[in-house]
C-alpha cells in the first residue's frame, strides 16, 4: 500500500489503468500533487502505527475500506454515474483486489512490529519483486540493467534486515510480513497490468473493488473480537481512512500533469517523512543499516524505472512508425 503509487509508475503511462490521459503538461504542479500524495499516505501509515496493537488491523482496514467505498461511489455518481462502478472483468478484479488486500494486511501488521523508517524502506522492494515475477510468469526478459538493479537492490535489503535477524534483537517476523507485503503488492500490479490498456477498467472502478474486497476480508476478523475504540481512536481511524483514499486520488491526478518518469522518484521522499514521523511521534532513530541499505534499494528502483521508461519510449516509437 505504501508503495503502490511508486509501483504504478513502473508502467510509465499510469492513467492507462482506466484513466484517460489529459494533455495538461504542468510538471511542477504534477510534482506538487505527487508530494502531497506522499505526505497523505505517509500520514495514514503513521495513524495506523499510532493505533498499534490496541485496535486490531482488521478493524482499521474495515473502516478504511468503508470510507473509501463511500468517497469513490460519491465521485462516480457525481461525474460519470454509478454505471462507472460496473466491472468488466470480475476475475481480474478478484485476483488484483485479493493480492492488494493481503499486501495491506502485511504492511499494517509490519507497522506494529518495525520502526517506521524500516518498514517504509522495505516497501521499496516491490518493484524488484515485480521484475522477478514478470520474468517468471510473464516471460519478460531481464537484461543487464535490471539484473544490476536486482543485485544492488537485494544487497541493500540484506543490509537493512541484518539487525532484525540477529538473536535477541530486531523483529524477524516484522521483516517477513513486510517483505511478504512487497511480494503481494507486486502480484497485485501484475494483475493490474492485465486490466489496463485499451478497453481497460477505470481507476476509480479498480480502487472501488479493491476497497470493497479489503472491507469484506477485514470483516471476517471481527470473529476474533473487535474492541470499541475510544473517541480519540475513532478520530484516528477515520483520519487514516480519509487520508488513504485522498492520497490515492491525488496520486492518480498527479500523473495527469507530469510524466511518471519525472515525478515517480518523489515517492522515495516517504522515507524522509518516515524518519521525521518516527522521531517525533514514536521516539525512533533509524539504525546505520537503514542509511546504508535503503539508498541501494532506491538506486535499484531508479534503474528499473529508467529501464521501463526507455522501453516505453521504444514501444511508442514502434506504434508511431506503424
pLDDT of 161: 85
Using a 10 angstrom Cβ sphere, with 0-12 exposed, 13-18 middle and 19 or more buried, the burial of residue 232 is exposed
Q: Are 215 and 63 in contact (CB under 8 A)?
A: no
pLDDT one-digit tens code per residue, 81-109: 888 888 887 888 888 899 999 999 999 99
Cα–Cα distance measured from residue 288 to residue 226, given in angstroms and rounded to the nearest whole number: 38
User: Beta strands of 77-228 (E only): which ranges?
Assistant: none
Return the C-alpha cell found at 199. Answer: 478497453
In Å, what is the CA distance from 18 to each residue of 202, 255, 288, 297?
3, 13, 42, 30
DSSP 266: G
Question: CA 50, 51, 53: angle at the middle one, nearest 5?
Answer: 115
pLDDT of 317: 62
Cα–Cα distance measured from residue 106 to residue 102, given in angstroms and rounded to the nearest whole number: 6
Cα–Cα distance measured from residue 12 to residue 20, given in angstroms and rounded to the nearest whole number: 14
Residue 198 exposure: Cα atoms within 13 Å on the Cβ side: 0
Cα–Cα distance measured from residue 183 to residue 100, given in angstroms and rounded to the nearest whole number: 10
pLDDT of 313: 67
Angle of the 126-137 helix axis to the 172-194 helix axis, nearest 10? 50
- Cα dihedral across residues 98, 104, 105, 106: positive or negative: positive
**List of the chain residues with pLDDT < 50:** 1-2, 4-23, 198-199
Prediction pTM value: 0.83
pLDDT of 261: 67
pLDDT one-digit tens code per residue, 277-317: 999 999 998 888 889 988 998 888 888 777 766 666 666 66
> Cβ contacts of residue 305 below 8 Å, gap of 6+?
9, 10, 127, 261, 264, 265
pLDDT of 141: 74
> How far is CA 231 from its chain centroid?
29
pLDDT of 16: 40
pLDDT of 311: 67
Output the DSSP codes for 17-70: TTPPP-----HHHHHHHHHHHHHHHHHHHHHHHHHTTTS-HHHHHHHHHHHHHH
Return the C-alpha cell found at 47. Answer: 495513524
DSSP 267: G
pLDDT of 146: 73
pLDDT of 40: 95
DSSP 170: S
Give pairs for 91-94: CB < 8 Å, separation 24+: 92/191, 92/194, 92/195, 92/201, 93/195, 93/201, 93/206, 93/209, 93/213, 94/213
Cα–Cα distance measured from residue 143 to residue 288, given in angstroms and rounded to the nearest whole number: 32
pLDDT of 200: 62
Amino acid at each position: 500500500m505504501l508503495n503502490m503509487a511508486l509501483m504504478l509508475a513502473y508502467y510509465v503511462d499510469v492513467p492507462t489503468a482506466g484513466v484517460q490521459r489529459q494533455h495538461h503538461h504542468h510538471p511542477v504542479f504534477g510534482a506538487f500533487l505527487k508530494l502531497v500524495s506522499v505526505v497523505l499516505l505517509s500520514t495514514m501509515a503513521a495513524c495506523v502505527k499510532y493505533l498499534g496493537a490496541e485496535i486490531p488491523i482488521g478493524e482499521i482496514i474495515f473502516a478504511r475500506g468503508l470510507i473509501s467505498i463511500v468517497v469513490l461511489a460519491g465521485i462516480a455518481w457525481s461525474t460519470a454515474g454509478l454505471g462507472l462502478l460496473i466491472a468488466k472483468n470480475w476475475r481480474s478484479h478478484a485476483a488484483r483486489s485479493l493480492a492488494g488486500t493481503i499486501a495491506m494486511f502485511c504492511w499494517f501488521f509490519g507497522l506494529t512490529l518495525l520502526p517506521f523508517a524500516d518498514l517504509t524502506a522495505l516497501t521499496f522492494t516491490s518493484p524488484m519483486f515485480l521484475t522477478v515475477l514478470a520474468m517468471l510468469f510473464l516471460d519478460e526478459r531481464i537484461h543487464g540493467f535490471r539484473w544490476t538493479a536486482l543485485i544492488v537492490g537485494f544487497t541493500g535489503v540484506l543490509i537493512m534486515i541484518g539487525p532484525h535477524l540477529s538473536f535477541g534483537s530486531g523483529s524477524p517476523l516484522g521483516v517477513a510480513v513486510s517483505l511478504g507485503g512487497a511480494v503481494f503488492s507486486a502480484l497485485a500490479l501484475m494483475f493490474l497490468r492485465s486490466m489496463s490498456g485499451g478497453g481497460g477498467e477505470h481507476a476509480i472502478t479498480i480502487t472501488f473493488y479493491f476497497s470493497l474486497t479489503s472491507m469484506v476480508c477485514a470483516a471476517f476478523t471481527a470473529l476474533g473480537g473487535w474492541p470499541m475504540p475510544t473517541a480519540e481512536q475513532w478520530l484516528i481511524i477515520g483520519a487514516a481512512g480519509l487520508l488513504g483514499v485522498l492520497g490515492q486520488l491525488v496520486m492518480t491526478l498527479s500523473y495527469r500533469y507530469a510524466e511518471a518518469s519525472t515525478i515517480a522518484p518523489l515517492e522515495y521522499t516517504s522515507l524522509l517523512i518516515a524518519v521525521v514521523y518516527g522521531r517525533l511521534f514514536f521516539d525512533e532513530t533509524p539504525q546505520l543499516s537503514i542509511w546504508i541499505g535503503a539508498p541501494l534499494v532506491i538506486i535499484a528502483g531508479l534503474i528499473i524505472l529508467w529501464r521501463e521508461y526507455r522501453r516505453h519510449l521504444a514501444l511508442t516509437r514502434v506504434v508511431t512508425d506503424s
